[in-house]
Structure 1
Amino acid sequence: MNRSPVVLSLAAAAALMLPAAAPVAAPRVNIAKFDTLPQPLPLPYHAGNAKAEIAAARARAIKAHKRLLIDLGGNWCLDCRLLAGVMDLPQMKPFVAKHFEVVTVDVGRFDQNLDIPESYGIKGRLAGVPAVLIVDPKPNRLVNAGRETALADARSLTPQALADWIAGWVG
């Protein structure tokens, strides 16, 4: 089989982004390209009390035996909106709801709510957004340390690759 170097490098990059083993298969996303996502793309980030929203979601996650998914980003960010669009797909929405309590946190232009990632051990400026924190709520521990900005260039992936990445963090 003859594979181009681009395909191999994309495959290698995807392998580095995923956790070691995906215990739960992602739903099949029937959209091959982002330009076929329902339009307009969601605007998921809003002003609010991020700490209170995270605390409430964490309590729900503990009670429901789910993980907490904290999505840090901004409505100005195309990659953030693409991720939100994939998570809103009819194939993905029930899957995400079954396995995660999701909180979106507006980081503004990297000048708001930066104490949230810091509270999970992420020091300094975020390397990009969306920054997705997967948290085990019982000990309140970041599960995907070092991979929180893996989706910051979401537009370079396929919708299915985003779905696979999310599924890889199901606890």
Structure 2
Amino acid sequence: MKNLLLAASLLICSLAANAQEAPKLYHPEADAKADIAAAVKKASAEHKNVLLQIGGNWCIWCLRFNDLVTKDPDLSSYLAANYEVVHVNYSAENKNEKLLAELGYPQRFGFPVFVVLDGKGKLLHTQNSAYLEEGKGHSKGKVLEFFKNWSPEALDPKTYAASK
């Protein structure tokens, strides 16, 4: 019986330690609307778009996506050059329901889900992340293609006309 209690205690401590080490990308207490407004202002000044990554710390696919785009140098540099990123929380503590309603209910696609805004805050695109998946993660190629297709350069009619 003592061994069973000891094993259970060790398991609980291990789970607690792992929970503390998990990244905290999403913050239920954050004012998502204010964070987005600040990102739009910065994006406008720097000729970028805004990428809203909507999900929660409970979502393994959200964490996997973030790992990919922050640890892969190609994705990381492309993202930094073209987007301001805002992690918008969706969890039991704060579902950001009013904001998500204003964005056209992107949560209908599951999580993570991505919303691209221009430098004025206008909604350009909602991306179902299932189309970016490959195996137990996301495809670098598909993610880079998504980033490129919705970058400010891709949406600039002058740039588009020059490429033809």
Instruction: Report the TM range for the smaller structure's normalisation.
Output: 0.5 to 0.7
Aligned length: 128
Q: Does 1:137 pair with 2:125?
A: no
* Equivalent residue runs for 1:1-171 within 5 Å: 42-47=23-28, 48-89=30-71, 90-109=73-92, 112-120=95-103, 122-123=104-105, 126-138=108-120, 140-144=121-125, 147-151=126-130, 154=133, 156=135, 157-171=138-152
Q: Does structure 2 retain, via aligned residues, the 8 Å contact 1:69–1:100?
A: yes
Q: Which residue of 2 aligns with 1:4?
A: none
Q: Check 1:160–1:55 CA distance in 2 against 1; reply closer, same or farther (3 A cut).
A: same
Instruction: Compare 157-166 and 78-87 and name the one that shifted more.
Output: 157-166
Listed as ranges, the gaps of 5+ residues in structure 2 are 1-20, 153-164
Identity of aligned residues (%): 26
Q: Check 1:154–1:79 CA distance in 2 against 1; reply closer, same or farther (3 A cut).
A: farther
Q: Which residue of 2 aligns with 1:32?
A: none
Listed as ranges, the gaps of 5+ residues in structure 1 are 1-39
The structure showing larger relative contact order (alpha-carbon pairs under 8 Å, at least 6 residues apart) is 1
**1:118, distance to aligned residue in structure 2 (A):** 1.6
Greater radius of gyration (CA): 2
Runs of 4 or more off by more than 3 Å in structure 1? Answer: 40-43, 150-157
Residue identity opposite 1:114 in structure 2: E
> Which has more strand, going by share of residues?
2
**1:53, distance to aligned residue in structure 2 (A):** 0.7
SS of aligned partner of 2:128: coil
CA RMSD of aligned residues (A): 2.6
TM-score scaled to structure 1, two decimals?
0.64
Q: Does structure 1 retain, via aligned residues, the 8 Å contact 2:106–2:113?
A: no
TM-score scaled to structure 2, two decimals?
0.67
Q: Does structure 2 retain, via aligned residues, the 8 Å contact 1:131–1:152?
A: no
Structure 2 CA distance, aligned partners of 1:44 and 1:100? 17
